[in-house]
Amino acid sequence: MFIAMNRFRVARGSEEAFEALWLNRDSHLDGVPGFVAFKLLRGPTAEDHTLYASHSSWESQAAFAAWTESDAFRAAHRQARGGPKVDYLGHPVLETFETIQEMP
């Protein structure tokens, strides 16, 4: 399994707007070939930001790459730009992983 993780440092006070942006948009992931699962995770809060991570799981790296070049991807990201104002500390950081062990 291939996992793409995006890490967002959301400025303190912007958490509600950030969560609303994700909860209210259509991800356009349903039915995308090779898409397995998606999670949005809220992590630790530091003095100036709260860490969030989005995880999307794919059957393969190729399925993820194809999605990033698809109309569904563009449609999902276009919406995000029209949402509530969110302040970030820096750009999101994308890290990609391969599963090497899994249970159950």
Q: Which residues bind its own copies (CB under 8 A)?
A: 3, 5, 19, 22-23, 27, 29-30, 37-44, 51, 53, 95-104
Task: Output 68 or 97, the one with its CB closest to its own copies.
Answer: 97
The neighbour count for residue 42, using CB atoms within 10 Å, is 13
Distance of CA 29 to the CA centre of its chain: 11
| Least distance between its own copies and beta carbon 43 (Å) | 5
The answer to whether the CB of 76 falls within 8 A of the CB of 26 is yes
| Least distance between its own copies and beta carbon 82 (Å) | 19
Task: Output 23 or 69, the one with its CB closest to its own copies.
Answer: 23
- Cα(1)–Cα(93) distance, rounded to whole angstroms? 20
